[in-house]
Chains A and B, each alone.
Chain A
């Protein structure tokens, strides 16, 4: 069920009404479990069974791990959990990718092998809920979380419908404690949740789908050479589209959770105002970057190892982060590019951090421009269906096709330009703040008008139930 669908509107109204009408906390939690499985099963009912089986398996493994007498057996249970989760992810998400690459490798050494194409349907949001569930056993192993005794609560923590299919990646340790005491219905919190849902839907339906996706699709789908202007506009359009699409989903999820009395953390913090790549990753898909940091980068040694080793660790983490997004080499290149950016940034920092001009306005502006430009270049690999498209796009962006085609209409170019300027301006204004502070400080009439305009724009756009980009991950 998509947030931007009529089905979800009806579903949400029914769930929220029932939820706040029921007195018993246990009954309310039961309702949320049923609603979450209904929400997930509305895509493909059999996959709800898969979700339940992996969740209950992790619940059991977590309990075994906590009872383990020796560190070795504890580690054994962790390995079992990691293997179970990653093999499930590997089979559904990377099965065909691995087979194709295996076939390619064999062909390189002269062995012709034609593997059967596995007709695997990817369960929606498998990358997200696998991480939700995995965080539970990882935290128990690390000793920062005690296993819950309630299977129902753990099932709810993994499958809670606002964050189930496209994040934020909510760790069990962040959610389970919220199930101890029932939240009370607070008008301000509920209405703030509704406003956030309106904002999220506006970002997705109006900005990402209506104002930006058409230009991005046309440019990336064009078979011929394009001039630099059109190529750059296509990339800027995608940079905006991916942000508004994903941040829109996260904002909706945070708002929906608030309406039910739960608190989810921010997943985005004005990333296009980032100065430097480490700053970017503190602002973009925060729940994934902190997950990779805590469960991968730090166990690999973090910053407590020699600089060269730390740089290699960074690249490994970003390589896996790229692969997490999709079973394609283009995603791997995207991840590796970001890994390289982070390494280069570290070197630059060591060399120039203490220079007197390092923190003046011009340097910061240049650093921002370099960050934004490099992030956009990386987006080319994220969006391109293959390396031929990516190469053609990069060629266009850097002037290889001086006599290429100019295909975008003036209206499309204006839309992308206006949205890009606005998003950068807003991110800059709020880069050291947050949306709650902004809403508190803005005049009431501005908040009212903005909320009403966003709602009207959503109704006018009608929504064509385009899936969120991150569903495929």
Chain B
């Protein structure tokens, strides 16, 4: 910290004030103008700016063309602000879809509207835990509508602090704390994202490109699991649709299949927590989630609302893995028993079980329409409509 009072006195500009009385204009504004003025580098600004502008425009167009050439297309980013925009549309009697990406991809809003009489609002989210949204709707005392909750055990029971839970929690928090600037930002982002392919925050950012560099790691390095590449588009209602390239079941679909396996495999306990302590904590977290879910469903049903859980199609190696690690009798059945809510398990109905997921976890856009059509009678029965 500077230590001289003389420099301090210099800053005070006392002499000028004493020796020269300020002019009328100056006295209105507090004193003589400062001599301080930022220097401006004397370089040919006009030429430099023109070259920079042209370079940036050309580079941006080239990047856009390249991204389109490798299969990317324009789509909206599923941001918390976008989710909040749909959440704001929830009315007391709305039909709302919550849960994970299967509810997002597999349920067609047009078909559900035809069957249920109301257009559902899509609040499910990719890789998200549905519980924070369920709890938020349960705490919304005005809400007494219908909730269709997609249930993937590993995501629904994800404990606090894990990515699926945080995704749901952050979206809910944004709904309650969204600023006018964030709201405006979402409206401004729509037209850009609908026309520019490289604006894909989960994949084509510098950060993601750096993550893709093939650099070997030390043993033990905790590298986050790889996430699936672009395989769907989202419209302004947050309806997700699988792109044709993935639906055809070629290389893209098989790449994604191999990404789901590590993502859905239970991670080993952290090295600094004994395994038995960790397992006990996980058990406690799951029991707490069961208890909280029962409480949330009771709140909604107590106000005349309805909740139906749906287990949507899963195929291939991922189905085998889910059946092994989160068996139905330990997850689905206790959930329905505890909450008393109706449930629809795709395997229980031949017309729903026949669908195949090209990348093992989601239906193609075409199949999602047919699946939703077939699901409607079961939903109506479950909801006693």
How long is the Cα–Cα vector from A178 to B220 in the complex, in angstroms? 58
Q: A186-B40, A444-B44 are in contact. List 15 more A-B contacts (CB 8 A).
A: A144-B17, A145-B31, A214-B207, A290-B2, A293-B2, A302-B5, A303-B4, A304-B5, A406-B221, A408-B221, A452-B56, A452-B59, A459-B56, A460-B209, A462-B205
How long is the Cα–Cα vector from A323 to B254 in the complex, in angstroms? 55
B30 to chain A, nearest CB (A): 4
Check A181 for interface membership: any CB of B closer than 8 A: yes
User: Once the chains bind, are A187 and B45 in contact (CB under 8 Å)?
Assistant: yes
Interface residues of B in 158-185 (CB under 8 A from A): 179-182, 184-185
Check A176 for interface membership: any CB of B closer than 8 A: yes
A-B contact pairs, 20 of them (CB 8 A): A144-B13, A145-B31, A148-B28, A149-B27, A149-B28, A174-B34, A210-B205, A214-B207, A218-B222, A223-B270, A263-B36, A282-B1, A292-B1, A293-B1, A407-B220, A409-B217, A444-B48, A447-B48, A448-B52, A456-B56
B37 to chain A, nearest CB (A): 5
Closest to B81 in A: A465
Interface size class on chain B is 35 or more
Check B337 for interface membership: any CB of A closer than 8 A: no
B332 to chain A, nearest CB (A): 31
B78 to chain A, nearest CB (A): 13
Q: A174 — which chain B residues lie within 8 A by C-beta?
A: 34, 36
Q: A342 — which chain B residues lie within 8 A by C-beta?
A: 1
Interface size class on chain A is 35 or more
Check B70 for interface membership: any CB of A closer than 8 A: no
Q: A148 — which chain B residues lie within 8 A by C-beta?
A: 28-30
User: Once the chains bind, are B40 and A188 in contact (CB under 8 Å)?
Assistant: yes
Check A134 for interface membership: any CB of B closer than 8 A: no
Q: B4 — which chain A residues lie within 8 A by C-beta?
A: 303
- Could you say which of A83-91, A99-107, A370-378, A410-418 contacts chain B? A410-418
Closest to B216 in A: A410
B225 to chain A, nearest CB (A): 12
A367 to chain B, nearest CB (A): 17
Check A258 for interface membership: any CB of B closer than 8 A: yes
User: Once the chains bind, are B59 and A176 in contact (CB under 8 Å)?
Assistant: no
- Could you say which of A36-44, A267-275, A357-365 contacts chain B? A36-44
0/1 interface trace, chain B 182-194, chain A, CB 8 Å (1 if under): 1011001100100
Check B89 for interface membership: any CB of A closer than 8 A: no
User: Once the chains bind, are B31 and A176 in contact (CB under 8 Å)?
Assistant: yes
How long is the Cα–Cα vector from A297 to B5 in the complex, in angstroms? 10
Q: A206 — which chain B residues lie within 8 A by C-beta?
A: 206
User: Once the chains bind, are B29 and A414 in contact (CB under 8 Å)?
Assistant: no
Closest to A461 in B: B206
How long is the Cα–Cα vector from A439 to B205 in the complex, in angstroms? 29
How long is the Cα–Cα vector from A192 to B2 in the complex, in angstroms? 30
B264 to chain A, nearest CB (A): 22
How long is the Cα–Cα vector from A167 to B33 in the complex, in angstroms? 21
User: Once the chains bind, are B43 and A439 in contact (CB under 8 Å)?
Assistant: yes
User: Once the chains bind, are A44 and B179 in contact (CB under 8 Å)?
Assistant: yes
User: Once the chains bind, are B48 and A411 in contact (CB under 8 Å)?
Assistant: no
Check B277 for interface membership: any CB of A closer than 8 A: no
Q: Decide: A409 near B272, CB < 8 A? Known: A5-B185, A148-B30, A177-B31.
A: no
User: Once the chains bind, are B180 and A41 in contact (CB under 8 Å)?
Assistant: yes
Check A32 for interface membership: any CB of B closer than 8 A: no
User: Once the chains bind, are A210 and B206 in contact (CB under 8 Å)?
Assistant: yes
Check A208 for interface membership: any CB of B closer than 8 A: no
Interface residues of A in 2-43 (CB under 8 A from B): 2, 5-8, 10, 41-43
User: Once the chains bind, are A7 and B13 in contact (CB under 8 Å)?
Assistant: no
Check A45 for interface membership: any CB of B closer than 8 A: yes
Contact of B14 among A144, A176, A455 (CB under 8 A): A144
User: Once the chains bind, are A281 and B210 in contact (CB under 8 Å)?
Assistant: no
Contact of B3 among A191, A302, A409, A439 (CB under 8 A): A302
Check A394 for interface membership: any CB of B closer than 8 A: no
Q: Decide: A181 near B210, CB < 8 A? Known: A302-B3, A410-B221.
A: no
Give me the interface of A with B, judged by CB distance under 8 Å. 1-2, 5-8, 10, 41-45, 142-150, 153, 172-174, 176-181, 186-189, 191-192, 194, 206, 210, 214, 218, 223-225, 254, 258, 263-265, 278, 281-282, 289-290, 292-294, 297-298, 302-304, 314, 317, 342, 405-411, 414-415, 434, 436-437, 439-440, 444, 447-448, 451-452, 455-457, 459-462, 464-465
Check B41 for interface membership: any CB of A closer than 8 A: yes
0/1 interface trace, chain B 25-64, chain A, CB 8 Å (1 if under): 1111111111011111111111011011001100110010
Closest to B185 in A: A7
Check B218 for interface membership: any CB of A closer than 8 A: yes
Q: B215 — which chain A residues lie within 8 A by C-beta?
A: 409-411, 414
**Residue picked from A150, A176, A342, most chain B C-beta under 10 Å:** A176
User: Once the chains bind, are B1 and A297 in contact (CB under 8 Å)?
Assistant: yes
User: Once the chains bind, are A410 and B199 in contact (CB under 8 Å)?
Assistant: no
Check B223 for interface membership: any CB of A closer than 8 A: yes
Contact of A444 among B43, B59, B179, B216 (CB under 8 A): B43
How long is the Cα–Cα vector from A150 to B28 in the complex, in angstroms? 7
Contact of A5 among B51, B181, B221, B222 (CB under 8 A): B181
Check B19 for interface membership: any CB of A closer than 8 A: no
Q: Decide: A452 near B207, CB < 8 A? Known: A177-B32, A192-B40.
A: no
User: Once the chains bind, are B33 and A177 in contact (CB under 8 Å)?
Assistant: yes
Contact of B41 among A5, A408, A436 (CB under 8 A): A436
How long is the Cα–Cα vector from A148 to B2 in the complex, in angstroms? 30
Q: B209 — which chain A residues lie within 8 A by C-beta?
A: 460
Q: A45 — which chain B residues lie within 8 A by C-beta?
A: 180
A164 to chain B, nearest CB (A): 13
Check B325 for interface membership: any CB of A closer than 8 A: no
How long is the Cα–Cα vector from A408 to B11 in the complex, in angstroms? 48
